[in-house]
């Protein structure tokens, strides 16, 4: 179906995030995100760098960083960022448009990059108190990808031995006889991505184990 096309879902999440960030104050741009080492401005620049690096650019960058992701990420973030957050946002918002830079993700497999937009979008919005519910189709794609493999985050390992069950969508993981963790699909996606800020939206016998994993 057209609505499950990752390109369309990515474009929609990209546009929604850019619109939500219009008019932020300097203090809000400096707010610590759910990625504790990064501010809101940093996360936007990180997303922009991922959307413009391309496959060969990513390979060159990670090799020059000595295969250290944190060094690679910081260098690429600085490549995309502008001194003024509003200019970084303008550059980010224009990606893929007639007047902006082309979108070139590191790989052609798009579900993980949709995950980047969904998760980092919430990393930004949550501390700012901005409400956004990604499209159900987008959450379904990301949840399936996260439950199926570890990629940029150890999402599959995070919930090994637990039965996740969405209360607002047709989504489950693992054997139903395992300890259950249930709640909204967005919260399940975020905890699979290692964000403990979303634990309070979940419940079930598996919560103590999941909380322990996220804390450690």
- Residue-level pLDDT at 198: 98
Residue of 197, 2, 6 lying closest to 116 (CA atoms): 6
Residues 159 and 205: their CA atoms lie apart, in Å, by 13
Residue 2 has pLDDT above 70, yes or no: no
Residue 119 has pLDDT above 90, yes or no: yes
Taking the CA of residue 135 as centre, how many other CA atoms within 13 Å lie in the half-sphere pointing to its CB? 19
pLDDT, one tens digit per residue, over 48-79 is 999 999 999 999 999 999 999 999 999 999 99
pLDDT, one tens digit per residue, over 9-41 is 999 999 999 999 999 999 999 999 999 899 999
DSSP lists the bridge partners of residue 75 as none
Angle between helices 6-20 and 111-128 (to 10 degrees): 20
Angle between helices 69-80 and 54-64 (to 10 degrees): 120
Residues 213 and 216: their CA atoms lie apart, in Å, by 5
Does the pTM of the predicted model rise above 0.85?
A: yes
Which band of pLDDT confidence, cut at 50, 70 and 90, is reported for residue 4?
confident
Residue 213 has pLDDT above 70, yes or no: yes
80 vs 151, higher pLDDT: 80
- Residue-level pLDDT at 3: 61
- Residue-level pLDDT at 70: 94
- Residue-level pLDDT at 1: 41
Q: What is the DSSP letter of 5?
A: -
Residues 165 and 167: their CA atoms lie apart, in Å, by 6
The SS3 call for residue 104 is coil
Residues 118 and 139: their CA atoms lie apart, in Å, by 8
Residue of 99, 101, 103, 140 lying closest to 118 (CA atoms): 140
Domains located in the chain, CATH noted: 2-128 (no CATH), 136-215 (3.30.1050)
């Amino acid at each position: 179906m057209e609505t499950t096309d990752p390109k369309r879902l990515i474009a929609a999440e990209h546009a929604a995030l850019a619109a939500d960030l219009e008019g932020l104050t300097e203090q809000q741009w400096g707010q610590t995100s759910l990625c504790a080492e990064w501010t809101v401005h940093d996360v936007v620049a990180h997303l922009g760098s991922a959307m413009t690096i391309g496959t060969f650019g990513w390979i060159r960058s990670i090799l020059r960083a000595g295969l250290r992701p944190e060094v690679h990420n910081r260098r690429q973030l600085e490549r995309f960022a502008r001194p003024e957050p509003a200019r970084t946002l303008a550059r980010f918002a224009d990606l893929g448009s007639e007047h902006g830079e082309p979108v070139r993700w590191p790989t052609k497999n798009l579900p993980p990059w949709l995950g980047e937009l969904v998760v980092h979008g919430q990393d930004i919005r949550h501390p700012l108190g901005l409400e956004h519910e990604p499209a159900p189709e987008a959450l379904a794609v990301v949840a399936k990808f996260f439950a199926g493999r570890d990629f940029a985050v150890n999402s599959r390992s995070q919930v090994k031995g637990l039965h996740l069950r969405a209360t607002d969508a047709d989504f489950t993981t693992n054997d139903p006889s395992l300890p259950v963790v249930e709640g909204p699909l967005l919260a399940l996606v975020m905890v699979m991505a290692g964000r403990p800020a979303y634990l309070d939206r979940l419940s079930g016998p598996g919560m103590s184990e999941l909380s322990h994993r996220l804390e450690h």
